[in-house]
């Protein structure tokens, strides 16, 4: 998924770590305090804390996403285990092979573009990250399995929760949005109006959100109640919300409301797989699930001084 940490951002972190903790390791790992020494530079000890500060200073966004990814991996396994959610090894192998081929192709293409000739991906990896292709493949396989687990967890959660499919039209001008609402209710032109007037990223698709919303995705209880009680075709709003430093207004059209399905994962597994084949997980759906699962486990990312 494009929303997840790219390989290029992870390689510096891989190079700084000798190995990943096993599933049986405690969390947090008290055996590696920040004052622990990982090496020496000019005969001076370099500590875990110094490495962390350096990496965060060098690329705080990538570092923060990598650390959040470690937490997300732990809570993913914590949620998958009691539900007995698993991924077929053959599927993990096939997807790992695809990602490795794609990585090798990108390395060869980039080296040829920059230097005029292709470089051996294994040599590039050793120079950049100090690890072998086999080590990278092992990490990619683990990461791939986690992502495939996440896909199944989020779609199972969607199936067993009420869902609402919506289109949205966003504007800074509430009065203008009310006029558009009246027009759309009269002639059914919501998609055309969204394409022309909406500030939302979905405007190019006529305002249609490409994935269903769950109750936990909607922060405003008044909006949540209206959306899940409305009939298909109903236009709701405008609703005010914060958009950065200013208030924006949202107009919704309800496309479909679906009740929650009943059943454990074993019973719904085939339906989950069919759903994933028909509609791979888009970035927005994954990001909403990521926020939900981290909040369920009490994780809130901290900000460094100067970060908003």
Tell me phi and psi for residue 218, to 5 degrees. Answer: -110, 110
Tens digit of each residue's pLDDT (9 = 90 or more) over 123-135: 999 988 889 999 9
d(CA 230, CA 159): 19
302 vs 256, more confident: 256
The residues that bridge with 235 in the sheet, in sequence order, are 253
Q: Please, where are the H alpha helices in the chain?
A: 7-15, 48-58, 60-83, 89-115, 121-129, 133-159, 174-187, 190-197, 221-229, 265-278, 283-296
Question: What pLDDT is recorded for position 20?
Answer: 42
Mean pLDDT of 107-121: 89
Mean pLDDT of 35-63: 83
In CATH terms, the fold of domain 165-260 is: Chitinase A; domain 3 (3.10.50)
d(CA 153, CA 285): 12
61 vs 51, 210, 228, CA distance in Å?
Answer: 16, 27, 36
Tell me phi and psi for residue 167, to 5 degrees. Answer: -115, 155
Mind giving me the DSSP string for 110-122?
A: HHHHHHSS---HH
Mean pLDDT of 55-82: 86
233 vs 58, more confident: 233
Average pLDDT, the chain: 85
pLDDT for 7 beyond 80:
no
pLDDT for 21 beyond 50:
no
Mean pLDDT of 44-64: 83
173 vs 22, more confident: 173
Tokens for 268?
């719904």
Question: What pLDDT is recorded for position 267?
Answer: 95
d(CA 8, CA 97): 18
Tens digit of each residue's pLDDT (9 = 90 or more) over 175-225: 999 999 999 999 999 999 999 999 999 999 999 998 899 998 888 898 999
Question: What pLDDT is recorded for position 148?
Answer: 97
pLDDT for 3 beyond 70:
no
Supply the pTM of this predicted model: 0.72
pLDDT for 13 beyond 80:
no
Confidence bin at 10 (pLDDT 50/70/90): very low
Tens digit of each residue's pLDDT (9 = 90 or more) over 147-163: 999 999 999 999 999 99
d(CA 57, CA 61): 9
280 vs 52, 92, 230, 274, CA distance in Å?
Answer: 35, 16, 27, 10
14 vs 109, more confident: 109
Show me where the domains of the chain are located. Answer: 7-158, 165-260
d(CA 108, CA 191): 43
Confidence bin at 49 (pLDDT 50/70/90): confident
Tell me phi and psi for residue 257, to 5 degrees. Answer: -120, 130
4 vs 186, more confident: 186
Question: What pLDDT is recorded for position 11?
Answer: 45
Most distant CA atoms of the chain, gap in Å: 77
Mean pLDDT of 69-88: 92
Tens digit of each residue's pLDDT (9 = 90 or more) over 245-261: 788 999 999 999 999 99
The rounded Cα 98 to chain-centroid distance in angstroms is 20
Mean pLDDT of 13-34: 48
Question: What pLDDT is recorded for position 253?
Answer: 96
pLDDT for 16 beyond 60:
no
Which range of 8-17, 27-36, 276-285 scores highest in mean pLDDT? It is 276-285
């Amino acid at each position: 998924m494009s929303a997840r940490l790219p390989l290029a951002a992870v390689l510096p972190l891989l190079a700084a770590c000798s190995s990943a903790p096993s599933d049986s390791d405690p969390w947090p790992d008290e055996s590696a305090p920040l004052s622990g020494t990982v090496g020496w530079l000019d005969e001076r000890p370099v500590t875990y804390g110094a490495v962390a500060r350096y990496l965060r200073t060098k690329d705080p966004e990538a570092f923060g996403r990598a650390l959040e990814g470690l937490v997300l991996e732990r809570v993913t396994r914590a949620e998958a285990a009691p539900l007995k959610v698993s991924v077929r090894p053959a599927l993990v192998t096939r997807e790992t092979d695809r990602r490795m081929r794609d990585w090798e192709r990108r390395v060869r293409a980039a080296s040829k573009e920059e230097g005029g000739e292709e470089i051996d991906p294994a040599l590039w990896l050793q120079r950049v990250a100090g690890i072998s292709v086999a080590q990278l493949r092992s990490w990619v396989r683990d990461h791939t399995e986690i992502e495939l687990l996440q896909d199944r967890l989020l779609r199972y959660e969607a199936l067993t929760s009420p869902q609402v499919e919506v289109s949205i039209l966003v504007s800074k001008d509430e009065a203008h949005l009310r006029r558009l609402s009246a027009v759309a209710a009269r002639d059914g032109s919501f998609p055309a109006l969204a394409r022309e007037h909406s500030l939302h990223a979905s405007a190019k698709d006529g305002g249609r959100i490409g994935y269903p919303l769950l109750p936990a995705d909607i922060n405003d209880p008044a909006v949540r109640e209206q959306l899940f009680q409305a009939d298909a075709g109903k236009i709701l709003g405008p609703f005010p919300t914060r958009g950065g430093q200013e208030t924006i207004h949202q107009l919704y059209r309800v496309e479909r409301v679906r009740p929650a399905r009943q059943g454990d994962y074993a019973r719904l597994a085939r339906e989950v797989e069919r759903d994933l084949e028909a509609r791979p997980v888009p970035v927005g759906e994954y990001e909403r699930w990521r926020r939900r699962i981290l909040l369920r486990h009490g994780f809130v990312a901290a900000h460094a001084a100067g970060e908003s």
